[in-house]
Structure formats: C-alpha cells, structure tokens
C-alpha cells in the first residue's frame, strides 16, 4: 500500500489553504521531505520543507521542477483557480483559456512530466484534486475543467497502473479557504479534507468523495438529467 512514511512529496499550490494543510499533514504522517511549490513560493520554518517555484501553466517551469525534484514519490496536484461568472456564455475568452490551463492542462502536464520519475519508484502516488462540480455543471468553465481533469485522472490511473503508480482522484464541494469565501453553502475544514485524502491514499483507495455533496452528485450521474437539473423541466413545460 502507498505510505507517507519516508515519502518525498511535491504539492502544487502549496501557498493556499488546502496546500498548506497538505504540507503540514504530510510531515505529521512521516514524510521525509515536502516540495512546497507555487509561482512565488513562501518561506517555511522547517528544513524538511523545500520551497520550489512552479508555474503549472508553463512547460519550462514544469521541466525545471522535475529536474529539481527527481526524488519525488508522491505528487499532489492541488493548484487550481476559479472565476466568479457562473456560465460559459458569460466568461471572457481569457477566463476560459486561463481556467483550462490551470485546472486541466496544468495538472495533466505536471503528471505527465513526473510520470517517469514516479514510475521508477516503489509505491509512488499521484493525487489529483477535482471538485464535486465535476459532476454538476453549474459553475461554467470551472465545472468543465474539473470534469476534464476527472476523466484525465481516470486515464492516467489505467496507464500508470502497470508501473505500480497509484492514482487517486479527490472530489469535494466547498472547502473553507479564501477561494470559497464567496460561497454561503456549508464548507469542509481543509484539515479534515487532507486527513481524509491521506487516509484513503494509505488504504489504497482510488477515489475520495470527501463530503455528502460529492456522494450525492456522483450518485446523480445515473439519474435522468431532469432530476439533476430541475430547471430543464421548467424550460420544457
């Protein structure tokens, strides 16, 4: 089974609320080293934490990170972005491109770049942070990009399984961070989310449904569209 004890972990988006929790919890569970990456990495008061500049939308930056961190055994694709507009018709072209690059292409390209490194390790792991909105298309391009990442994660899982790389997809609704400050719905504590993710990883699970919303929305994938989106009934009335 994958384990954090003695692991070398690389976390994208480590400056944020969820990323910071991943850093601390990985060390608490025995990680030997954590690469805490961000476009502008912060300073950490722990010699086990290595700040590393990484822009997941830039191929040269990704390659530089691979060269700087050849000992990684656990990759956590946590970095993400959102835009306030709820619909793809109201987004600007730049908002759409930016979200696709940050939420879909960035994590995919990071995983592809680190795949040879991870494939050479025993019990290596990739963790991709998706969203419950992968399965609920009410957040415009954000929903679309997270759905795309979900599909890509499933493909990576199949392709990397022969090399022994364990791939975990994480779904969660709102988390109590600055990115979800606008939301009025219940929010999950980042510490609870991270503990849930690591427990699932070390149990060998492939998918994490971190809250009730994620459980309900995945179950809704087999439901009639009118049940998931009742506004369609009103439209056809």
Is beta strand 49-53 parallel, antiparallel or unpaired with respect to 207-209? unpaired
Please give the order of strands across the beta sheet that includes 125-129: 49-53, 33-38, 8-11, 74-77, 125-129, 166-171, 207-209
Geometric angle at alpha carbon 1, from 29 and 75, rounded to 5°: 60
Cα(85)–Cα(232) distance, integer angstroms:
20
Residue of 146, 187, 218, 229 marked active site: 146
Active site residue 33: no
Residue of 35, 136, 142, 174 marked active site: 142
Active site residue 146: yes
Q: Tell me the H-state helices in 86-175.
A: 93-99, 106-119, 140-160
3 state DSSP class of 127: strand
**Rounded to 5, what percent of the chain is helix, strand, coil?**
50, 15, 35
Cα(65)–Cα(80) distance, integer angstroms:
18
Give the pair of three-digit tokens for residue 34.
């954590």
Q: Tell me the H-state helices in the chain.
A: 17-28, 59-68, 93-99, 106-119, 140-160, 190-202, 212-219, 225-228, 231-236
- Which residue numbers are catalytic? 142, 146
């Amino acid at each position: 089974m994958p384990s954090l004890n003695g692991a070398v972990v690389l976390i994208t988006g480590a400056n944020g609320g969820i990323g910071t929790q991943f850093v601390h919890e990985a060390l608490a569970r025995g990680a030997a080293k954590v690469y805490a990456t961000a476009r502008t990495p912060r300073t950490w008061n722990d010699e086990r934490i290595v700040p590393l500049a990484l822009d997941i939308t830039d191929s040269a930056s990704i390659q530089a990170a691979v060269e700087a961190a050849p000992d990684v055994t656990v990759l956590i694709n946590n970095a993400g972005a959102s835009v306030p507009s709820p619909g793809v018709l109201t987004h600007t072209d730049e908002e759409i491109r930016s979200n696709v690059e940050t939420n879909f292409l960035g994590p995919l390209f990071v995983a592809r770049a680190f795949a040879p490194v991870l494939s050479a390790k025993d019990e290596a792991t990739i963790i991709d942070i998706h969203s419950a909105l992968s399965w609920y298309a009410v957040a415009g391009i954000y929903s679309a990009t997270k759905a795309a990442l979900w599909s890509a994660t499933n493909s990576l899982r199949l392709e990397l399984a022969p090399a022994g790389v364990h791939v975990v997809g994480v779904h969660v609704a709102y988390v109590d961070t600055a990115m979800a400050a606008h939301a009025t719905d219940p929010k999950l504590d980042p510490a609870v989310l991270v503990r849930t993710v690591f427990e699932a990883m070390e149990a060998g699970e492939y998918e994490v449904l971190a809250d009730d919303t994620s459980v309900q929305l995945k179950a809704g994938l087999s439901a009639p569209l009118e049940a998931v989106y009742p506004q369609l009934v009103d439209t056809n009335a």
